[in-house]
Homo-oligomer: A and B are copies of this chain.
Amino acid sequence: MTKHDKRPNILVVNDDGITAPGIKHLIEVAQELGRVVVVAPDGPQSGMGHAITIGKPLRFDPVDLYEGVEMYKCSGTPVDCVKLAVNKIFKGKKPDLCVSGINHGLNSSINVIYSGTMSAAVEGAIESIPSVGFSLDDFTQQADFSHCKTFVRKVCEQVLEHGLPERTLLNVNFPKGPGIKGLKICRQANAKWAEEFDERKDPYERPYYWLTGVFQNFDKGEDTDVWALDHGYASVVPVQFDLTAHHAIPILNSWNLSL
């Protein structure tokens, strides 16, 4: 860290791993805006949610992948990456922005809770760093991120200019390209996965199970992220990490909870 560098310091993380194409595109945008430090998992960590590594130690090493970019790979989860970056790289001088992604696959609606990409951004926000997670509706390694980059830049510029409301971060999802109609502020749609498990037998005739499922959207609202994405917009959902259901407190206070 150069002490008197006036460009913003930007932490870049992801969950698809440090070699994923998505993070390369995010690094390129971040480099246009400031000094970039990348801390990312050394392999895929999709679906890790807000997991942290507590039962075993972590490896954390510098790598040299893209010219002029300070990069580290970590053996842990996306959240571990943010914790290590804050503690070992930035050492108390918080970065000005934390961006996560660009994820290969959507993190709209309920997926925010399963997503390592979004959990890394949530961890950034817990650390009081303005944070944004970015995801694209394409799971493949060949995903085309080119139509997202001007929108990623616009969102980052606005966050750097305005900051974010306290204890809030952003969840930005992009439809497949080439065109995007614009950025739309949304709420998270009420949806869930209907799980199915694909049961197979191993060579010793013992069963094992692959998680699969079908996404079910129960939400007809036109103010949701799912609606926006279905209609060609990129969705921007403000996300909070205080999970208190404040509206339920008076209801519970009416219960008889004395022994």
Chain A residues at the B interface, C-beta cutoff of 8 Å: 44, 46-55, 57-60, 77, 79-80, 83-84, 86-88, 110, 112-114, 119, 122, 126-127, 150-151, 154-155, 158, 162, 164-165, 167-168, 170, 182-183, 185, 187-188, 190, 192, 195-197, 200, 206-211, 236-249, 251-253, 255-259
Contact = CB atoms under 8 A, between A and B. Distances in A.
A183 B257 contact: yes
Contacts of A114: 50-52, 79
A126 B154 contact: no
Q: Which 8 A-B pairs have the closest CB atoms?
A: A49-B50, A238-B248, A240-B245, A238-B245, A57-B208, A51-B51, A49-B49, A47-B54
B242 A190 contact: yes
Contact of A112 (B47, B119, B243): B243
A14 B44 CA distance: 26
Contacts of A58: 197, 208-211
Given A52-B211, A150-B259, A259-B150, A244 B187 contact: yes
A21 B55 CA distance: 18
A188 B244 contact: yes
Contacts of A240: 243-245, 248
Nearest to A208: B57
A73 to B, nearest CB: 13
Contacts of A50: 49-51, 113-114, 119
Contact of A196 (B87, B122, B192): B87
A211 B243 CA distance: 24
Nearest to A182: B258
B53 A151 contact: no
Nearest to A127: B192
A41 to B, nearest CB: 12
A75 B204 CA distance: 17
Contact of A256 (B54, B119, B158, B236): B158
A86 B211 CA distance: 13
B252 A238 contact: yes
